[in-house]
């Protein structure tokens, strides 16, 4: 039992340290990938949303880069805190963080065909 509890605690710790990503989406012929500071995708069709959790401190300045190619549909990205939109992410946009927390960089696709990359730098 003690081993089970320790294993569970280790898994939770790894999840917290590595950050979370996920969403509710459907991909046709392609995939989505994340790194510590980016989300990217290439596919025939992406429908739904996908997010990456980013821990930010008060006073952090986050600089976004958003590039996309569209063959069909629409795609957009937002920065959220507690499911409240802080800003729409556009290419070369910048936000100063007012409150420490776990923010989500979230991509929304409506029957989008093509590619995208959203990346960020934190200062």
Domains within the chain, CATH numbers bracketed: 20-122 (2.60.120.380)
Task: Check residue 23 and give its pLDDT.
Answer: 72
- Residue 120 φ then ψ, to 5°: -150, 155
pTM, entire model: 0.80
pLDDT for residue 14:
41
Question: Which pLDDT score is estimated for 56?
Answer: 97
Alpha-carbon distance 17 to 1, whole Å? 24
Split the chain (123 residues) into runs of 10 and give each run's mean pLDDT: 60 47 81 95 96 97 98 98 96 95 97 98 96
**What pLDDT does residue 9 have?**
52
Going by the DSSP 8-state scheme, the letter that residue 2 receives in this structure is: H
Q: What is the pLDDT of residue 99?
A: 96
């Amino acid at each position: 039992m003690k081993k089970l509890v320790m294993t569970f605690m280790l898994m939770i710790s790894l999840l917290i340290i590595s950050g979370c990503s996920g969403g509710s989406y459907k991909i046709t012929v392609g995939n989505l990938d994340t790194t510590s500071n980016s989300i990217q995708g290439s596919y025939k069709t992406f429908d739904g949303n996908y997010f990456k959790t980013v821990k930010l401190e008060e006073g952090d300045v986050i600089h976004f880069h958003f590039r996309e190619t569209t063959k069909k549909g629409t795609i957009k990205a937002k920065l959220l805190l507690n499911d409240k939109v802080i800003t729409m992410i556009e290419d070369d946009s910048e936000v100063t963080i007012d409150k420490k927390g776990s923010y989500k960089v979230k991509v929304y696709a409506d029957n989008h065909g093509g590619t995208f990359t959203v990346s960020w730098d934190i200062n």
